Chain A
């Protein structure tokens, strides 16, 4: 029984066409011509309880718009969505009680009050039992190491601190579903790792369904088994991450750092194509004496290829590089395999 259902969701935005000029405001009040943009063009998917799904797409793809419909911020132009059995646009308050939302770009905390006060207010508004509330705040404070700044006003918090605060605020009322929109944007490596680990653990231990919207491919690889990719308002791919790679970019790269001068091999290595270093996307230590070979592990086993390459080249160092998720997704956007 899916916990999130989206069926043919469509969202149109209409803006009055305002011609620039001296009395644009005045004319704007009276104009009847409107520009309609269809941001979401019929999106459907189902998410089962306990899943941790990555929702990906370039800017302007309709990601945030979809999430906003699922969280009750926007009303769909047509189509239906159901979250935990509730239609968000019809029963917004009830939906709000079932979900927790973090928008990375904006905080939901009370800007001028100490962090702790925000939690207190939310505890009241969500009718959280006081004993349980104290328990959870204590637990989160420890898990996320927040005791230092619980009493600091939110406006004085660093980004990482604020993000942790927002995450806790979203989880205080034990929602069964978490919507996280760019929760790690702007965070340093350590903070990012800590947050993603926390999300993974939450999903694992309490079975909270998580929908993660992000541009950060590291996060996706670390957390998501399933991804939904959206572009220009339509779903391009919905399925396993592993299968995505297999389908769109089954190749791997063998990066050879040669000893001494570059020498052309006398024979071509079967099943391997030499490619430009840029295909790997990593910075090569010694670009002037590197060779990058692309191969399909289904055609030739990796150890075999290594053996062949070592025979033909004087190899000082070698490494295997898997395609980056970014490149895979990029391919997807290009519609190369549409």
Chain B
């Protein structure tokens, strides 16, 4: 009789249909909530109702694509011992895992597209104010994706040190959903909260690209945020390498 843990991994993997339906419901709910909350008000914090609603819908879709249930195949490889042979080619493995993650992300892209389609049907989407904004938004999205992938990988490394990674991973999953700004844009957060979040890499994942796209952040400020993304990509890559070295050491030298 297979253990409950194994089962949940198998169950959550790749059920795109359910994922799509869940996302659509989430998008519909977000749109309804934000429209109700605004209910005929003038712009709050300089943000109009349309922008807030569009943000909620787009951010939910982006977050869903960035956050699959399985962050990488690492935990599974570690559990079944395959990692031992994998580590004979350490650099190759890292790239391989990264490529797999990218693949997963791409596979989930249709999910996001369906969510966006639902938002469009509900007339929640808005177009960016101009071509330059769109270009910058695309650049920011790539940046956000990179940051997200790096974060996911780093967090999945925790499996090298403990098999009971379930708790921390779930905390990461939902914590980053909040901190990335996918639930609430940073504009509406109380000052102290906003300030603390701005120091973390998560807001670079969703908040940056979406707020640039909507033109809420523009010009110098927008470019600066993209710059922050670049800084995070570099910093996280270095961090990943450092952790990877230690994990390698642990497995190969200590036989962990």
A residues whose Cβ falls under 8 Å from a Cβ of B: 23, 25-26, 111
Least Cβ distance of B3 to chain A in Å? 9
A25 and B17 contacting across the interface, CB-CB below 8 Å: yes
- Nearest residue (CB) in B for A112 is B1
Bound form: Cα–Cα A37–B245 in Å: 57
Question: What residues of chain B lie closer than 8 Å to A23, measured between beta carbons?
Answer: 17
Distance from B5 Cβ to chain A, minimum over Cβ atoms (Å): 14
5 closest cross-chain pairs (CB), A and B: A111-B1, A25-B17, A26-B17, A23-B17, A25-B15
Identify 5 residue pairs between A and B in the complex whose beta-carbon atoms are under 8 Å apart, listed by A's number: A23-B17, A25-B15, A25-B17, A26-B17, A111-B1
Question: How many Å from the CB of B11 to the closest CB on chain A?
Answer: 13
Instruction: Give, as a whole number of angstroms, the nearest-CB distance from B97 to chain A.
Output: 27
Q: Chain B: interface secondary structure?
A: loop
Q: Report the Cα distance A23→B17, complex, angstroms.
A: 8
How near does chain A come to B95, taking the closest CB pair, in angstroms? 30
A111, B2: Cα distance in complex, Å: 10
CA distance A23 to B1 in the complex (A): 30
Contacts of B17 in A (CB 8 A): 23, 25-26
Residues of chain B from 1 to 17 with CB closer than 8 A to chain A in the complex: 1, 15, 17
Query: Whole-angstrom distance between the alpha carbons of A26 and B15 in the complex?
Result: 11
Query: Nearest Cβ distance between residue B19 and chain A, in whole angstroms?
Result: 12
Measured between beta carbons, the chain B residues less than 8 angstroms from A111 are 1
With both beta carbons as reference points, the residue of chain A lying nearest to B15 in the complex is identified as A25
User: What is the bound-complex CA distance between A25 and B14, given in angstroms?
Assistant: 12
A26→B16 CA distance, assembly (Å): 11
Distance of A107 Cα from B131 Cα, bound (Å) = 66
A212 CA to B103 CA, complexed, in Å = 52
Over the window 1-38 of chain B, the binary record of Cβ atoms lying under 8 Å from chain A Cβ atoms (1 yes, 0 no) is 10000000000000101000000000000000000000
Q: How far is the CA of A23 from the CA of B15 in the complex (A)?
A: 11
Residues in A neighbouring B1, C-beta threshold 8 A:
111
CA distance A25 to B18 in the complex (A): 10
A23 to B20, CA, bound (A): 12
Contacts of B15 in A (CB 8 A): 25
CB distance from A165 to the nearest CB of B (A): 15
Q: How far is the CA of A169 from the CA of B15 in the complex (A)?
A: 40
In the complex, A336→B229 CA distance in Å? 78
Q: State A83–B1 Cα separation when bound (angstroms).
A: 30
Separation of A111 and B17 alpha carbons in the complex (Å):
34
Tell me the smallest distance from the CB of A169 to a CB of chain B, in Å. 16
CA distance A26 to B17 in the complex (A): 7
Cα–Cα, bound, A71→B6 (Å): 31
